[in-house]
Amino acid sequence: MIDPIFGWIEAERRRQEEGLELIASENYASPAVLAALGSVLTNKYAEGLPGRRYYGGCEYVDEVERIAQERLKTLFGAEWVNVQPHSGAQANEAVLLALLKPGQKILSFELAHGGHLTHGSPLNSSGRLYNVRHYGVRSDTYLLDYDQIHEKAREFRPAVLMAGASSYPRDWDWTALRSIADEVGAILVADIAHPAGLIAAGLLNNPLPHCHIVTSTTHKTLRGPRGGIIMMGKDFDNPFGELTPKGTPKKMSALLDTAVFPGVQGGPHMHVIAAKAVAFGEALQPAFREYSRQVIRNAQALADSLKERGYTILTGGTDNHIVLVDLRNKNITGREAEKVLEKAGITVNKNLIPYDPQPPLIASGIRLGTPALTTRGMNESDMRQIAAWIDEALTSASDETHLKRLKDTIREYLRAYPLPYAPAAPTPLTHDFASAG
Ligand code: DSN
C-alpha cells in the first residue's frame, strides 16, 4: 500500500503544474535543491557551528555548512553570515533578540502599507516584546517618504530602524536610511526576503554595504528551499558593551550566532542548509542574472498590460517582481478577486493597499509576482496573455462555466512550460494503517 501522503504530494505537484502561479513570495525550487532537501542530512543533529558542534559525526555536515556560508558571502558581498535560521521569521526574531531588551524601541514599515508581520506587528512576538512605531508610504504616490521616516526617527529615537517589505514594488534607498539611523544612533536592519534574488543578481540596490544587519528568506526570488539567513557586510563591536571572557567587546556576529542557537532555535536543519548551499551555487551562475532580469521585465510587462486594461497599478509600475493592483475602480474586492481567479486556475493573494478602507481579510487589492512563472520560462508576451486572462476572469466573475473554460485553456497553455520538479518517490508502507483501523 502506498502512503496516501504521496497522493496528496502528487495532487499538489499537479496543482502547481496546471495553474498560473502569481503569488509573489513563491517560486519553483530546482530538482537539485529538492534532492538536497530530501536527503539523509535530515537525520543529523548538529547544534553549534562548523568545527564547534555539540554532537559527534559532524565532519560532513560541517563541510556542507561551510560551503553554504562561503557561497552566501560571495553572493551578497558579506563578511559574516549565519545560514541556520529555519525561516525569515526566526532570522528576524534572532536579530531582535540579539539587539534589544524587552521594551526597547523599533521603528519599522507599517504592515498595512506593505511591511512584514515580524517587524513589530502586535500579533507577532516582535510587537509583544518591544515598543514599536511604524512609518508608511505617502497617500498620494504610495511611495516611501524618507522625510517622514527621518522625522519619526528623530522624534521616537528607536534603538532599531527596520526596513524591508512584503508588498512594496519599488527599490529602497539604503544610503538615506543609514544616514537617518546614524543620526539617531539606531542599528539599521534590512529584511530583503522578497527582492533577495534580484539584489544578488545586481539588479537592485544592495543593502549590505549600508545596513548593519540584513535578513532574508531563501525561497522567494532567491529560488532556494524554505528558510532564512542573516548577513552583515562588516562585523562590528556590539554597541551594548557585552564583553568576551578576555574583556574585549563581543563582536556582533557572536551575539547573532548565539541568538539563533540557542536563542530561538535548537538543532539546525542540515538538509535545508545543504539545499540553501545548492541554491546559492545556482544563484552564482550567470543564468541566474538573466533569469532575474526576466523576472523584472515580466513584472513590468504585466503591470503595463493591466494598466492598458484600466487597472490601477500602485506607484504606477514596479522596479522588482511585485505588481500591486488596486481593484476599487473595478468594483471587486481583493478577497472576491482571489477566489474568482483561483476558479480560473490563476493563483494570487488578496492584499491590503495602503490606507485600505477594507479589513485585511477582504482587502481592496491583489498582489501579483513573476518569479515562479519566469522560472517556467515565460516572457513578456506570456505576461500580456496573462493580463488578458486576469481581466477576462474578473469581468466574468459570476460565470462559472466561463471560468471553468478559462481554467482548461490555461492548463493547456501551461503544457509548453514544464515544471523543473522531480516527482516525489512513493514509499510502500509495511503496515496497512487503513485496514488496521
Ligand atoms: N508571507 C510572506 C509573503 O507572502 O510575502 C512574507 O515574507
Long-range contacts of 38-45 (CB under 8 A, 24+ apart): 38/271, 38/424, 39/271, 39/274, 40/271, 41/270, 41/271, 41/273, 41/274, 42/269, 42/270, 42/271, 44/270, 45/267
- CA-closest residue to ligand 1 atom 6: 166
Helix axes 4-18, 400-414, angle to 10 degrees: 90
Domain 10-29+286-416 has CATH 3.40.50.970: no
Among the residues of 38-110, which ranges form H helices? 59-76, 88-99
Q: Which residues pair with 367 in a beta bridge?
A: 324, 349
| Position in ligand 1 atom list of the atom nearest CA 23 | 4
Tell me, what's the pLDDT at 239?
A: 87
C-alpha 115 to ligand 1 mean position (Å): 9
193 lines ligand 1 (CB under 6 A): yes
Residue ranges, comma separated, of all CATH 3.90.1150.10 domains in the chain are 10-29+286-416
Task: Say what the pTM is.
Answer: 0.95
Per the prediction, the chain carries an average pLDDT of 96
C-alpha 148 to ligand 1 mean position (Å): 25
Alpha carbons 409 and 368: distance in angstroms, whole number: 20
C-alpha 25 to ligand 1 mean position (Å): 6
25 lines ligand 1 (CB under 6 A): yes
pLDDT digits (tens, 9 = 90+) for 16-42: 999 999 999 999 999 999 999 999 999
375 lines ligand 1 (CB under 6 A): no
The β-bridge relationship of strands 48-49 and 52-53 is antiparallel
Q: Are 225 and 85 in contact (CB under 8 A)?
A: no
Alpha carbons 168 and 150: distance in angstroms, whole number: 19
pLDDT digits (tens, 9 = 90+) for 76-128: 999 999 999 999 999 999 999 999 999 999 999 999 999 999 999 999 999 99
Q: Which residues of 156-170 are buried (b: 16+ CB within 10 A; e: fewer)?
A: bebbbbbbbbbbbbb
| pLDDT-derived band at 241, boundaries 50, 70, 90 | confident
Q: Are 436 and 13 in contact (CB under 8 A)?
A: no
Alpha carbons 215 and 85: distance in angstroms, whole number: 10
Alpha carbons 365 and 332: distance in angstroms, whole number: 9
Residue ranges, comma separated, of all CATH 3.40.640.10 domains in the chain are 44-283
- CA-closest residue to ligand 1 atom 7: 166
pLDDT digits (tens, 9 = 90+) for 127-168: 999 999 999 999 999 999 999 999 999 999 999 999 999 999
Which grid cell is 264?
530561538
Alpha carbons 397 and 335: distance in angstroms, whole number: 12
- CA-closest residue to ligand 1 atom 5: 166
Average pLDDT for 191-218: 98
**CATH code of the region 44-283:** 3.40.640.10
84 phi and psi angles, rounded to 5 deg? -90, -20
pLDDT digits (tens, 9 = 90+) for 295-354: 999 999 999 999 999 999 999 999 999 999 999 999 999 999 999 999 999 999 999 999
**H or E, element range at 336:** helix 334-343
| pLDDT-derived band at 437, boundaries 50, 70, 90 | very low
| pLDDT-derived band at 67, boundaries 50, 70, 90 | very high
Q: Are 27 and 236 in contact (CB under 8 A)?
A: no
Say if residue 434's pLDDT is above 60.
Answer: no
- CA-closest residue to ligand 1 atom 4: 25
pLDDT digits (tens, 9 = 90+) for 353-381: 999 999 999 999 999 999 999 999 999 99
Judged on CB neighbours under 10 Å (0-12, 13-18, 19+), 296 is buried
139 phi and psi angles, rounded to 5 deg? -80, -15
Tell me, what's the pLDDT at 427?
A: 61
Tell me, what's the pLDDT at 233?
A: 98
Say if residue 420's pLDDT is above 90.
Answer: no
The β-bridge relationship of strands 52-53 and 187-191 is unpaired
Q: 248: Cβ–Cβ under 8 A, 6 or more apart, which residues?
A: none
Alpha carbons 370 and 321: distance in angstroms, whole number: 6
Q: Which residue from 369, 364, 333, 322 is spatially nearest to 348, judged by alpha carbons?
A: 369
Hey, which residues are catalytic here?
45, 47, 191, 217, 220, 226
| Position in ligand 1 atom list of the atom nearest CA 166 | 5
* Edge-to-edge order in the sheet of strand 187-191: 80-82, 228-232, 213-217, 187-191, 160-163, 105-109, 131-135
